[in-house]
Amino acid sequence: MTNTSLYVVDVQPKVDWGNKSNKELDYLFTTSKNLNANMLVFFSDNPIAIINNYIDRTDVKHIVLGDGEIDINSFIEQLHVNSKEIEIHICK
């Protein structure tokens, strides 16, 4: 619809590095593949820094967040989106 590429960016805790039986990652890989999306997985204990770095390095137009275990409002406040025209969408 927006004629852009879709990227799924997932940040896992460092402790999960090398964990071969991660059902969440398997689900995201399958979903990404079905949507013809590129998937990037990072391992860090600071997901905000990873996402902000990705935003700073790329031409992000939309961010879609899942309504999961994180405080969405706090997460959004910490993103470097103020200086860019980025739309944020939250999925339930």
Taking a C-beta distance cutoff of 8 angstroms, is the pair 39, 10 a contact? yes
62, β-bridge pairs: 87
List the chain pLDDT tens, one digit each, 92 residues: 567 788 888 888 888 777 766 788 888 899 999 989 999 999 999 988 998 899 889 888 888 887 666 777 888 888 877 667 788 888 87
What is the β-pairing status of strands 7-12 and 38-43? parallel
Q: Which two tokens stand for residue 47?
A: 């997901």
Residue closest to 64 by CA, chosen among 31, 17, 22, 15: 31
Domain spans of the chain, in order of start: 7-91
Cα–Cα distance measured from residue 44 to residue 2, given in angstroms and rounded to the nearest whole number = 30
